[in-house]
Chains A and B, each alone.
Chain A
Amino acid sequence: MAVIDATGRPPAAAAPAAPVRSRDPEAHPVPTGREEAWRFTPLRPLKPLIAGQEPDGKIDISVAAPEGVEVEFVDADDPRVGRVLTPVDRVAAFATVRAGGAVAVTVPGETELTEPIVAALRGEGGVCYSHLVVEVGPFARATVVLDHTGTAKYAGNVEVHVGHGASVTFVSLQDWDDDAVHAGAHAFSVGRDAKLRATHLTLGGHLVRINPTVDYRGPGGDAELAGLFFTDAGQHQEHRLLVTHLERNCRSRVTYKGALQGADAHSVWIGDVLIGADAVGTDTYEINRNLVLTDGARADSVPNLEILTGEVAGAGHASATGRFDDEVLFYLMARGIPAGEARRLVVRGFFGEVLDRIDVPALRDRVMAAVDAELSAVGA
């Protein structure tokens, strides 16, 4: 596959100024679009959320949880709220304030769940906000799925705490209708010797901007972040990741793959990794690969690694954006495979690394079917 190396970008000249961290929306400036954090994002669709407009719509949240898991609605001043997530922008700050509380899911320590916890979030139109807290106790094992469908102008905060020695698989599927707007601050904290596998799958929406962040609450934590997006004509899909290594001997892996097709399809991937001065023994690698299927689509990809200690076990990043390779198409067609099927084969192969790791079979099948449908919509 022809690959255009996109890592040739100059690194940010200086570390960006530390953003304001506050639960108070008014502590955050109104973005103008010139800020580093907002320069790729069309602000117009986000206006009501930036302004903190009172909700006039609804997002219907239903949580299906196996026995032993506690699901409750708690006040915004509950100690669990804000334990992992401190908003870095107005939208995230408003999400908590306007949600008027949080859905809290608690998996007690040493509980081993065999079935996933599934939160279905269905947008019913209009401006709406929510806040979700997931607490997984020490040595517990759980899978959490967020399934976003319908439409809304929606700001949703999610905070997930993985207790020490626990293991959490988290999947967030953005399967929105074409006109949905979704700004999501998804914050994860990984306890001592805990393991997190978080996957973001973004298929739909008019504008989706997810901000996954990871920090570690003890040494030995392991976070694998994966993502898949399929960006269609007129869609803006943005994933900005920040992994902050301040603890020793923690590991992070970031693997995001995107396919784009159609006029003004725009994807943004920002991968920021910060390794603090005390975070010796850190092992981190992040990669974003994009496959541009048609003319008129644009993929922005910016990896950024800041290292303040000389004693890392490994630190690297890669980014590559390539066009669909006509020679590959010729090769497959020269073996009798029709063009449409050849494209599906190539795109499935491209996404395989991320798709194969979704260990919720129904979800994996749904994503594959959605990708196939997207491909046949354009025809080949």
Chain B
Amino acid sequence: MDILNVTYMVELVPILLRYLPLTLQMATLGMALALILACGLAVVRVLEIPVINRLTILFISFFRGTPLLVQLFLFYYGLPQLMSSMTSIDGVTATIMGLTMHFSAYMAESIRAAIVGVDRNQTEAALSIGMTNAQLMRRIILPQATRVAVPTLMNYFIDMIKSTSLAFTLGVTELMGATQKEAASSFLYLEAFIVVAIFYWVIVEMLSWVQHHLEHRLNKAYSR
């Protein structure tokens, strides 16, 4: 007997491909929302807006301080109990909410650091030629902060793609859930999980390629 049933593995690929869109959808939607939320949180932290700043610190502390799985369970099982209007929340929504909150907490800190890291002299130079604060942000600070933040943000995106697999614990049949089901019916666990591992690996590798080229483009201005 062969160690691995390769035929089964090849057959599994088209089956799992059908579930790939859901995984990517949760990850991209989660990333987009997390980015927006993180920018908001970062701006609050940079400007130290009273009261909201405190709440932001608490928010970041909680979502960085507790496991993503616990947060997902809180949203999925906890929220309906809290609010009767949400008698049930579907697993996909709960996952996207969880990913958004969890990763925005991390991303807010790296965006904040990137904004603060832009050389203070350039801020003065921009003000000295008569720019408004909004122009300063848009034309000088954000383009440079983006360059600093992109590598870490891409890492979080990669992490988020892999974290979508936790949705399977909420009964969502995405890539991981589908694999689990297939494996349970064929009893070929090793084969199934090798295939799904390769799936994630390839997605992440493709993203790394994008990241590399993006960074190269953003760094053009700073090389001697």
| Chain A partners chain B | no
Q: Which residues of B contact A (CB under 8 A)?
A: none
